[in-house]
């Protein structure tokens, strides 16, 4: 089973930072949403504390293409980069739909549009249950209605679909993990 570690918790207010997460599943070492943070050491130091280097990261996933979720992608020079419609590495661009794509045995992607039309959620099977890394919520408090969503109704539909998978834990785009129980 995979393990999930929040490297830095995001926030929204006078300043903004995205939640950055590390996933380990066998030989797959993935970072989700390496975006804006106050200092890139907030991403690199926890990775090094796990005995890893940025070059060890095999995959980077973007929940969507806003800078607060992508800005520090270049920290991971050997990684494959995943978004809603392709995998990028070096000078290769391989088209594929993210919906259902498996990064590893325990990690897969699913489309969850609403905040943007291209949003995806990373689903991770762990010993403690399903963990969803998503921008369907900014943090545990919501917001109930995403003021920046391009399609609020679609976002609510995506939330319902994700909650139907019974995740044990949600890691939102700009906050601490929370349980949906």
Structure tokens given for 22: 């590390």
Q: Which of 160, 20, 124 is nearest to 152 (CA)?
A: 160
Look at the domain 3-85+96-171 and name its fold.
Answer: Metallo-beta-lactamase; Chain A (3.60.15)
Calpha distance 127→61 (Å, rounded): 22
Calpha distance 84→99 (Å, rounded): 8
Domain boundaries, the chain: 3-85+96-171
Sign of the torsion formed by the C-alpha atoms of 132, 117, 99 and 88: negative
CB 75 within 8 A of CB 20: no
| pLDDT tens track, the chain, 181 positions | 999 999 999 999 999 999 999 999 999 999 999 999 999 999 999 999 999 999 999 999 999 999 999 999 999 999 999 999 999 999 999 999 999 999 999 999 999 999 999 999 999 999 999 999 999 999 999 899 999 999 999 999 999 999 999 999 999 999 999 998 6
């Amino acid at each position: 089973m995979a393990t999930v570690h929040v490297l830095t918790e995001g926030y929204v207010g006078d300043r903004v930072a995205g939640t950055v997460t590390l996933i380990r599943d066998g030989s797959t070492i993935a970072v989700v949403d390496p975006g804006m943070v106050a200092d890139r050491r907030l991403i690199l130091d926890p990775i090094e504390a796990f005995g890893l280097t940025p070059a060890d990261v095999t995959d980077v996933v973007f929940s969507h293409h806003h800078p607060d979720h992508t800005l520090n992608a270049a920290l991971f020079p050997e990684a494959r980069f995943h978004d809603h419609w392709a995998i990028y590495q070096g000078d290769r661009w391989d088209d594929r739909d993210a919906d259902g794509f498996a990064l590893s045995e325990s990690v897969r992607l699913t489309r969850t549009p609403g905040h943007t039309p291209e949003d995806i959620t990373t689903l991770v099977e762990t010993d403690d249950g399903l963990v969803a890394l998503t921008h369907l919520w900014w943090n545990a408090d919501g917001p109930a209605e995403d003021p920046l969503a391009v399609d609020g109704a679609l976002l609510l539909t995506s939330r319902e679909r994700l909650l139907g998978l019974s995740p044990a834990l949600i890691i939102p785009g700009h906050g601490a993990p929370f349980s949906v129980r």
